Amino acid sequence: MNEKNHQLLALLQADQREHERTDKEGPQDGPAPLSFSQQQLWYLHQLEAQQTAYNLTRAFRLCGVLDHAALQAAFEAVVARHGSLRTRFAEQDGVACQEVLPTVSLPLQLSDLRELAADAREVQVSAAIEAATRHVFDLSRAPLLFVHLLRLDEQEHVLIMGMHHIVSDAWSNPIVARDLQQAYAQALAGQAPRLPPLALQYADHARRQRAQCQGEWLRQELDHWQARLGPEVPPLNLPVERGDSTDAQAGAGYSLVLEESLAARVRQFCQQERCTPFVAMLAAWQVTLRHCCGQDDFAVGIPQAGRNHPALQEMVGFFVTTQVMRARLDPGMSLRTLCRQVRSDTLEAMAHAELPFELLLERYPAERGLPRHPLFQTLFGLQVIEGSGTLDLPGLQASTLEIDLHAAKFDLAMDVKIIRGQVKLRLEYRRALFRESSIARIGTVYLSVLEHLASAADTPIGQLALLGAQEQSALQAWSVNAQAHEAGNVLAVIEAQAKAHPERLALRVPHTGQVLDYGQLNA
């Protein structure tokens, strides 16, 4: 069975399970429990209500004549269609729940910048986007969405939209864009915008997820994943350094675009191997990590859409979950062989994609005193975006504005977006752990791996020449100089590492599994 047939089978199986649950229980009113992913964000919000790491912010430059009233009406129609955008969160008897309000007000904030000089207008645009990324949401008040429209001149606007991740995700963005386009076109034609109602709302999904994730089904899924991952997942020792920030959560992004010729050859390889671009590009990411970290055994977190049922495909909400793919590499295996292994692992994961990641984590508790994630330290995501990937409103030419990342959720993440055949890469990282120059080198290694995959896929991964002289010198600088390991310098090395990176893993006792970081070792 090929990969697309496996995907179809997984969807059909999920569809059958969802129909069985739908037949037993239709849509309900009243407060609903939180989904497991929402529950995790709720906990994080209780710990730090001022954090902005889970803000989802998008900005578009719109050229042409924009009808403000039609845009306001279109947004109101989108909010009316999606219950998640009318949802507020609270506790009842000590238990978090979500309540969908029948109606909410969504005022469109308008800033008129026409009186300013061109340079001053762009400064205000940057400041408004910055403010949106740092907006602090009150989860008890709906909607968890805001819209800011900046008018630069008669035929140029910048539209900023911000949502909290607890009510949306990346897969929701094109849904919002399509609904907004349809409603705006209706309003321009003088009609009251009316979008087709959804058969289910997100709160119904949360109820059904809670009903499913218990008993024998839950035990079998947990046993499956633990058998796949093993009792303990080796941590990935990323080549961290002293970054340019002392804020542990501060993040930044580094963007690359695959050359068209390389993207075409990667697609050709995927066609030959009958695999998706996700498989090939994840395999390349694993090889990149092996090269930069010097490890053959580690895990990578994979964002998964979590929309296995057709009724969920057109719904705005926080469905995305995380799956864990354990990489077990061998220097003698070729890139082609690795891709086939990743393809097999992916198909296996798809057949067990409904287990909430938060429940799997309960079997892998974090080691006390260690700041790292118990299962993975790096994330890899790929999303194929239909259409232009921007906001296509009638009569307007739109372009998406890139937004700087201020808070990182993980130490290092690779995000791939494929839009009309163009492959865009974005490395997101913690600024306390990496400098941009180091991230750029990791990106260079990744491009080199893709080049080898497209042109020499039968080369053993242990024989790949991935760095030029400059990159090789930088990689050596990441490591402790071998001469410093002479007997007389060992203590000096430990002291230096304890000062620079006290949280980094220094020692693991093989038989007991006990670990010490450099701070503990130097105490």
Single-letter amino acid, residue 297? D
For residue 217, the model assigns a pLDDT of 96
Q: How far apart, in whole angstroms, are the C-alpha atoms of residue 362 and residue 233?
A: 14
For residue 517, the model assigns a pLDDT of 59
Residue 482 has pLDDT above 70, yes or no: no
Please give the residue that has the higher pLDDT: either 470 or 40.
40
Residue 509 has pLDDT above 70, yes or no: no
Structure tokens at 456: 């020499």
Task: Please indicate whether the domains covering 3-206 and 231-479 agree at the CATH topology level.
Answer: yes
**Residue 361 and residue 343 in contact, taking contact as beta carbons nearer than 8 Å:** no
Q: What are the two backbone dihedrals, phi and then psi, of residue 239, each rounded to the nearest 5 degrees?
A: -75, 70
For residue 502, the model assigns a pLDDT of 63
Which residue in this structure is represented by tokens 């259409």? 387
The C-alpha angle 133, 418, 425, rounded to 5 degrees, equals 60
Residue 22 has pLDDT above 90, yes or no: no
Structure tokens at 219: 């035990």
Collapse the DSSP code of 87 into the 3-class scheme (helix H, G, I; strand E, B; otherwise coil) and give the result.
strand
Residue 267 has pLDDT above 60, yes or no: yes
Q: State the angle between helix axes of 68-81 and 173-188 in degrees (0 to 180), rounded to the nearest 10.
A: 130
pLDDT averaged over every residue in the chain? 87
Q: Looking at residues 411-423, what average pLDDT do you find?
A: 94
Question: pLDDT per residue over 358-396, tens digit each?
Answer: 999 998 887 655 567 889 999 999 999 877 778 999 999
In CATH, the number for domain 231-479 is 3.30.559.30
Collapse the DSSP code of 62 into the 3-class scheme (helix H, G, I; strand E, B; otherwise coil) and give the result.
strand
Q: Is 24 exposed, middle or buried (CB count within 10 Å of its CB: 0-12, 13-18, 19+)? A: exposed
For residue 10, the model assigns a pLDDT of 54
**Residue 418 and residue 258 in contact, taking contact as beta carbons nearer than 8 Å:** no
Q: How far apart, in whole angstroms, are the C-alpha atoms of residue 428 and residue 253?
A: 4
Q: What are the two backbone dihedrals, phi and then psi, of residue 374, each rounded to the nearest 5 degrees?
A: -70, -15
Q: How far apart, in whole angstroms, are the C-alpha atoms of residue 350 and residue 347?
A: 5
Q: How far apart, in whole angstroms, are the C-alpha atoms of residue 73 and residue 151?
A: 18
Q: Is 417 exposed, middle or buried (CB count within 10 Å of its CB: 0-12, 13-18, 19+)? A: middle
Give one word for 215, left, alpha or beta, with left for phi > 0 and alpha for psi -120 to 50: left
Percent of the chain residues past pLDDT 70, beyond the cut: 83
For residue 483, the model assigns a pLDDT of 40
Lowest average pLDDT, out of 243-257, 294-308, 389-403, 410-424, goes to: 243-257
From the list 206, 193, 185, the residue with the least C-alpha distance to 78 is: 193
Give the CA distances from residue 448 to residues 142, 258, 281, 291, in Å, rounded to whole numbers and listed in that order: 47, 11, 12, 11
Q: Is 37 exposed, middle or buried (CB count within 10 Å of its CB: 0-12, 13-18, 19+)? A: buried
Please give the residue that has the higher pLDDT: either 261 or 515.
261
Show me where the domains of the chain are located.
3-206, 231-479, 480-523
The CATH H-level superfamily of 3-206 is Chloramphenicol acetyltransferase-like domain (3.30.559.10)
**Residue 263 and residue 452 in contact, taking contact as beta carbons nearer than 8 Å:** no
Question: pLDDT per residue over 206-246, tens digit each?
Answer: 999 999 999 999 999 999 999 999 999 999 999 988 888 88
Collapse the DSSP code of 96 into the 3-class scheme (helix H, G, I; strand E, B; otherwise coil) and give the result.
strand
For residue 26, the model assigns a pLDDT of 53
Other Cβ atoms closer than 10 A to 477: 11
Single-letter amino acid, residue 65? V
Instruction: Give the contacts of 231 (CB within 8 A, at least 6 positions apart).
Output: none
Lowest average pLDDT, out of 100-114, 298-312, 445-459, 482-496, goes to: 482-496
Q: Looking at residues 13-21, what average pLDDT do you find?
A: 51
**299: enclosing H helix or E strand:** strand 297-304
The C-alpha angle 98, 128, 87, rounded to 5 degrees, equals 10
Structure tokens at 261: 């010729």
Q: How far apart, in whole angstroms, are the C-alpha atoms of residue 240 and residue 377?
A: 12
From the list 434, 410, 457, the residue with the least C-alpha distance to 287 is: 457
Question: pLDDT per residue over 63-107, tens digit each?
Answer: 999 999 999 999 999 999 999 999 999 999 899 999 999 999 999
Q: Looking at residues 329-356, what average pLDDT do you find?
A: 96
Q: How far apart, in whole angstroms, are the C-alpha atoms of residue 268 and residue 209?
A: 39
